[in-house]
Amino acid sequence: MKIQKMIEFTGKNLDDMFKLPCVKCVLKVDGEPVLVLHSEMMHNSKNICRLKDSLVQYTTGTWSVE
């Protein structure tokens, strides 16, 4: 399984992040944006992406949070 792309979640790229197929919704938690991800698209069981995390898309179409 190869990495197709890696995207760092900075909070400044909310519009771009929301357009990703793995993103279910964007919430505000303690004043900071958090991405809630579709669990069926995730390679691992982590389906929350916080600031400074990276979303990794694999060639299989699955995603993970690093």
The domain spans of the chain are 3-65
Residue 55 has pLDDT above 90, yes or no: yes
Bridge pairing between strands 48-49 and 63-65: unpaired
- Helix H or strand E segment including 43: none
Per the document, the length of the chain is 66
Task: Give me 52's structure tokens.
Answer: 């400074």
Q: In what order do the strands lie in the sheet with 32-37?
A: 23-29, 32-37, 48-49
- 58-65 average pLDDT score: 96
Write out pLDDT tens, residues 1-37.
899 999 999 999 899 999 999 999 999 999 999 999 9
